[in-house]
Amino acid sequence: MKTGVSKAELIKSLEATLKLTREKIACLDLRDENTVVIYFEGGYTRVINIACNSGIAIIRDVCKYI
């Protein structure tokens, strides 16, 4: 990750952006330093491994599972 930007900040910003797409995303949760969970409206979830990822790789991985 780029100095000055935490994974939590990146995930929160990505969550706000993805909600604007109307893809029925309820929220993104940084479960730990290596895992993001996508919560969809209706209760469906996706767990994503983001271990050792750069910021752009995290964005790609999350978007791949939408």
Q: Domain extents for the chain?
A: 7-64
Residues in the chain: 66
Tokens found for residue 16: 């706000």
pLDDT tens digits along 8-50: 999 999 999 999 999 999 999 999 999 999 999 999 999 999 9
Q: How far apart are CA 12 and CA 29, in angstroms?
A: 8
Considering the entire predicted model, what is its pTM? 0.89
CB 47 within 8 A of CB 34: no
**Better-predicted residue by pLDDT, 7 or 4:** 7
Grouping H, G, I as helix, E, B as strand and the rest as coil, residue 66 is: coil
pLDDT band at 3 (very low <50, low <70, confident <90, very high): confident
